[in-house]
Structure 1
Amino acid sequence: MAQVGVGTEAPKGADQLFNGKKRSLNKNWTYWEGPRIAAELPIKWEIVEDPIDKGQAVSANDPAAAGGKYGAADIVTKKKYTDFRLHIEFLIKNEGGNSGVYLQNRYEIQILDGDSTTHGMAAIINEKAAPYVVYNGLGKWNAYDIKFRAARFDENGKLSEKAMTTIYFNGKKIHENVSIQKVWGGPNSGLDGGRDGGEGITNRPGGIKLQAEGHEVLFRNIWIERLKLEKPNTDF
């Protein structure tokens, strides 16, 4: 098994998407220009001191997303991905803190303090809940380690295999080879959200997106490794 959990370093050849520095943020990320976009570059997500360890982190509390207006100030990687291994660390400062990690800017892995449902912490949004006990709690760093295989299409462009993921949460495997059924949340949520109720998945690659919903959710140590997964298996 690959190393997983808080503090896992990027393997050789991986892209370091965020290392705590403003330069890293602006180099690798931009605002997602969805239908509800209300923010303007440069990115207003603030670089803050890491409240636990040395170094810095970035806060998702963009003023344009005040009141929980998702899609107004979400940030997405400039590079787009198909199959990959992703590592991301987050810290929620206050009760009810809400954000999300979007795979291919389509499929949300939820970040939500206080919720253990299929819409809650570490859930594959609206489809599969995760064991809430794995969450380290407020004011502590948490880590998602995600292996993802994008949807596949036949020669006529018809969906033949749904997207699939395996996820570790703080070093514990919580989802194994789970097929993701659709894009939830409509066009304001991500790519293809407005196509056939989220079921009209296309073969466009997408970036990694982080959600701004007006909460103090911090992120650090984000890296991604491109993969080529020929078989429908994401276990690791």
Structure 2
Amino acid sequence: MKPFYKFVIALLILCILIFAVHLYVARKDIGVGAKAPEKAEILFDGSREMLDEKWIYWEGPRFSSELPIKWEIISDPVDKGTVVSSKDPYALGGNYGTADIVTKRKYRDFRLHIEFLVQNKGGNSGVYLQNRYEIQVLDGDSTKHGMGAIINESKAPYEYYNGLGKWNAYDITFRAPRFTNGTLSEKSLVTVYFNDKKAHTNIRINQVWGGANSGLDGGNNGGKGITNTTGGIKLQAEGHNVLYRNIWIQELDLEQADTRF
């Protein structure tokens, strides 16, 4: 082989290695166990103190629990440390909206990391962006209503799910809806990684699903009446053993309609 071709091949190999290293470095804050960037806010570190400090019940139409929050802090079944269980007694039987918890702070555009573990078959919960838009947590369902779906908006990336008894991670960048003279002009936009895999890219969210008991604006015009108000990060209680840990958020200001990261 001539020296020139050897040089070209070596250069190509070097470029591939550099690209691979770049991907690794760029994505080290994604997936199970990802650490929060310096500028991020920790929303849950496994402690009862932080649960009570930063979270509260969402008092929607069907709310029936009472403070203090009944979600239990338990030992992590896989790793060291403690986690929180969404099995609030008031939500037994799938009564979402009766005992959901939401952050006290409200957010506009943001990057969110959250880890969850489903302990039992059919375990059901959900991660709500701005207390409106649900990223589904539902074992056994691979439809547009299932695990990892932007509920009823996109098909579930079920193949990325680690399965029962294992930790999973959502990494989400969300851009809030925009309004012009009080009228909705740009719908919400979201990109989601599920366990290191890009599951959804710049998906526009059309409405709030599940009615008034689901979240903010759920009862407005069949969920299509989105208002120009911010909301918190909400976790849904449906009476199932779904655990959460390592939750952090970084506020953003996304001028352009692009949530890719």
Q: TM-score range by the shorter chain?
A: over 0.9
Q: Which residue of 1 aligns with 2:50?
A: 24
Give the distance between the partners of 2:64 and 2:237, measured in 1 at CA.
11
Alignment match of 2:82 (pick from 38, 49, 56): 56
Amino acid at match of 2:153: E
In structure 1, the residue matched to 2:8 is none
Alignment of 1:168 with 2:168, yes or no, is no
Query: Aligned equivalents of 2:185 and 2:144: distance in 1?
Result: 25
Instruction: Give the one of 194, 210, 231 matched to 1:206.
Output: 231
Comparing both structures, which one devotes a greater share of its residues to helix? 2
Q: Is the 8 A contact 2:189 2:259 kept in 1?
A: yes
Runs of 4+ off more than 4 Å:
none
Aligned-residue RMSD, C-alpha: 0.6
Q: What's 1:106 paired with? A: 132
Gaps of 5+ in 1: none
Instruction: Write the mapping of 1:41-80 to structure 2, written as runs, cut at 5 A.
Output: 41-80=67-106
Structural mapping, 1:84-99, within 5 Å: 84-99=110-125
Tell me the percent identity: 68
> C-alpha distance in 2, partners of 1:188/1:130?
23
Distance 1:32 1:182 in 2: 19
Conservation of the 8 A alpha-carbon contact between 2:57 and 2:101:
yes
Higher relative contact order (CA 8 A, sep 6+): 1
Is 2:131–2:234's contact at 8 Å kept on the other side of the alignment?
yes
Q: Say if 2:113 and 2:169, in contact at 8 Å, map to a contact too.
A: yes
Mapped partners of 2:157, 2:251: distance in 1:
28
Alignment correspondent of 2:13: none
Are 1:130 and 1:175, in contact at CA under 8 Å, matched by a contact in 2? no
Q: Does 1:136 align with 2:150?
A: no
Partner amino acid for 1:84?
F
Deviation at 1:129?
1.2
Q: Is the partner of 1:188 in helix, strand or coil?
A: coil
Spell out, residue by residue over 1:179-236, the C-alpha distance to the aligned partner (whole angstroms, 9 max, x if none): 0000001110000000011011011000000000000000000000000000000000
Secondary structure of 2:114's counterpart equals strand
CA distance in structure 1 between the partners assigned to 2:214 and 2:32 by the alignment:
27
- Normalising by structure 2, we get a TM-score of 0.89
